[in-house]
Structure 1
């Protein structure tokens, strides 16, 4: 009984968010539509923010399930490009839900946002192990996620001004900065140092320190990430 009540409240709230002109809903409207009292809603979700966070996770579960089912290919760079495009496509198909997920009113990031970031970081760690990124995976993930979310929000909020072409141009420009081209014998040695540092850091992480103590591995990672993330003075 408890589970069915929670599910009914969640599904009603998700429908109201989807149909709302601005994506905002009231707990009173949710209770009336779900035919439950306010105590039941607060017992299951704590408060309105808890309810909205659950709505976001409920909606994004389909998106995350598709990413999990996709699995990993041998081409981490292509996975990164597809990840950007699928993120934007989901935002356009779920405009109110996407606005809600990235609203300043959501003081605690929904679990879906955290998992999406972990998946992106995992793809970047694989790319780093292949020598394909210029900075540490964690910094690259922050750069890509902030740009991906920003572009998606512009497409959702201002469709008359921004379109898919803008998304592709921003994606390609950012990836040209973060990713390395295929290995070339003409690549100058000084340009290879950050990439080599990022790759070694990723490989050490995969090998769980490769014989180093926990403290030594942490220090080595700090040094390598500092070299990988250093900006060239040229």
Structure 2
């Protein structure tokens, strides 16, 4: 990297860090060009050259903060997998980390709750991929009774809704049990065993087996590519039908 590129990268980092501090302290309204420039020790035109406008800067800050959080979650999942932590315990822990992070960073949550911003956010995509991996571990263990995409969507929707409700209430009036209640409600819908010692229902058995086989189908080396694709198509049909309301 040339000296000029290094200088631009250092300036960009200083600006993002300064804006992130102001965002945490006072929300988006506190992230003014003058305030960021003073805190970062740069001239205001540098902000416009690097980020275009305030919205561009806010998006960069939200992405920076979220990316650091997602990296921590990825490291936590790797450690949980290596330690053979129960996938359900890992999912619950990840859920609580997400809730706590969002409540501690409401401005970042609100910025990345905008569907248009989410579509362009690498950190948001990585966060969903981590959730997909956690759900896949449950499916492979035979503990999921809906398709993996359905489970991911339900968990993500419940999480966003829970955070929005909590942020809409003053901190002293927030229901401390809401996040746990929502998690358990979702688990009761997607799992064969919402609690560790709960037996799988008779109706869940075939569907859970289909979901588990679907999770392993891409790695079935005894089948040809066309056979695997056909098996996946069949299993997707079974799991989607099983998840449909009756």
TM-score, length basis structure 2: 0.80
* 1:66 pairs with 2:72: yes
Counterpart in the other structure of 1:20 = 26
- Alignment length (residue pairs): 230
Single out whichever of 72-81 and 20-29 deviates more from structure 2.
20-29
Tell me the C-alpha RMSD between the 2 structures: 2.7
CA gap of 1:47–1:110, structure 2 versus 1, over 3 A, is farther
Question: 1:19-58, aligned counterparts within 5 Å?
Answer: 19-21=25-27, 25-27=31-33, 29-31=35-37, 33-34=39-40, 35-38=42-45, 40-58=46-64
1:111-144 Cα shifts (integer Å, max 9, x gaps) = 2211111111101111101001111212211110
* 1:153 pairs with 2:164: yes
CA gap of 1:171–1:37, structure 2 versus 1, over 3 A, is same
2:180 corresponds to which of 168, 178, 187: 168
Q: Which has the higher helix share?
A: 2
Aligned-residue offset at 1:2: 1.3
Counterpart in the other structure of 2:149 = 138
Q: Which runs of 5+ in 1 are unaligned?
A: none
Q: For 1:210, what is the secondary structure of its paired residue?
A: coil
Higher relative contact order (CA 8 A, sep 6+): 1
Question: 1:102-121, aligned counterparts within 5 Å?
Answer: 102-103=113-114, 106=117, 108-121=119-132
TM-score, length basis structure 1: 0.84
CA gap of 1:41–1:180, structure 2 versus 1, over 3 A, is same
CA gap of 1:105–1:69, structure 2 versus 1, over 3 A, is closer
